[in-house]
Amino acid sequence: MRVAVIGGGVAGAELVRTALPGPLDITLIEPKKQIELQALYPEYLAGLTRIQDLAAPLAPFCERVGATFLNDRALRLEEKAVVCEHGQVEFDFAVVAAGASQNYFGIKGQEHTFSINTLEEAKRARRFVEDRNPERIMIMGSGLTGVEAACVLAESLDASIYIIEARERILPQFSPNTSALIEKALSKKGVNILTSAQVREVREDCILFADSNGTCLDCDMAIWTAGVKPSSFIEGLSLPKKKGWVLVDPFLLARDDVFAVGDCAWIEVDGRLATKTGLEAERQAKHVARNLTHLAENRALERYSVRASTDSQVALISLGCDCAVGVVGKMCIGAPTRLIYSLKSWIDKSFIRRFK
Ligand SMILES: Cc1cc2nc3c(=O)[nH]c(=O)nc-3n(C[C@H](O)[C@H](O)[C@H](O)COP(=O)(O)OP(=O)(O)OC[C@H]3O[C@@H](n4cnc5c(N)ncnc54)[C@H](O)[C@@H]3O)c2cc1C
266-310 residue pLDDT tens: 999 999 999 999 999 999 999 999 999 999 999 999 999 999 999
Q: Smallest Cα–Cα separation from 9: which of 124, 145, 117?
A: 117
Using the atom order of ligand 1, give the atom closest to the CA of residue 116.
1
Distance 86 CA to ligand 1 centre (A): 23
Q: Are 269 and 301 in contact (CB under 8 A)?
A: no
Concatenated DSSP letters for 292-346? Answer: HHHHHTT-PPPPP--SSBTTB-EEEEE-STT-EEEEETTEE-SS-BHHHHHHHHH
Please give the C-alpha separations between residue 339 and each of 237, 300, 324, 342, 349, in angstroms, as whole numbers.
43, 41, 8, 5, 15
% pLDDT > 90, the chain: 87
Task: Give the residue, by CA position, lying nearest to ligand 1 atom 4.
Answer: 39
pLDDT at 124: 98
pLDDT at 325: 86
pTM for the complete prediction?
Answer: 0.96
Q: pLDDT per residue over 138-183, tens digit each? A: 999 999 999 999 999 999 999 999 999 999 999 999 999 889 989 9
Q: pLDDT per residue over 29-88, tens digit each? A: 999 999 999 999 999 999 999 999 999 999 999 999 999 999 999 999 999 999 999 999
Ligand 1: residue of 6, 10, 306 to mutate (most ligand atoms within 8 A of CB) is 10
Using the atom order of ligand 1, give the atom closest to the CA of residue 279.
11
Q: What average pLDDT does range 186-215 have in this prediction?
A: 93
Ligand 1: residue of 58, 118, 140, 277 to mutate (most ligand atoms within 8 A of CB) is 277
Same fold? 2-100+230-296, 108-225+313-353? yes
Whether 336 shows a pLDDT value over 80: the answer reads no
Alpha carbon 303 to its chain's center: 24
pLDDT at 342: 85
Q: Class for domain 2-100+230-296, per CATH?
A: alpha beta
| 116-122-128 Cα angle (round to 5) | 115
Domain range summary for the chain, segments of one domain joined by +? 2-100+230-296, 108-225+313-353
Q: 223: which strand partners?
A: 114, 139
Q: Residues enclosing ligand 1, CB less than 6 A?
A: 6-12, 29-32, 38-39, 41-42, 73-74, 97-99, 116-117, 144-145, 231, 233, 262-264, 276-279, 281
Residue 286: partners with Cβ closer than 8 Å, 6 or more residues away:
14, 15, 18
Asked, as a colleague might, if the bond just before 336 is cis with ω within 30 of 0, I would say no
Whether 334 shows a pLDDT value over 80: the answer reads no
Q: pLDDT per residue over 83-98, tens digit each? A: 999 999 999 999 999 9
Coil vs helix vs strand at 351: helix
pLDDT confidence band for 344 (50 / 70 / 90): confident
Alpha helices in the chain (DSSP H): 10-19, 41-45, 51-54, 58-65, 119-132, 144-156, 176-188, 232-236, 278-296, 338-353
pLDDT at 335: 64
Whether 213 shows a pLDDT value over 90: the answer reads no
Q: Are 161 and 150 in contact (CB under 8 A)?
A: yes
pLDDT at 129: 97
Taking domain 108-225+313-353, whether its CATH number is 3.30.420.40 is answered by no
Distance 7 CA to ligand 1 centre (A): 9
β-strands 34-36, 55-57 pairing? antiparallel
Distance 120 CA to ligand 1 centre (A): 13
**CA separation for the pair 27, 74 (Å, rounded):** 12
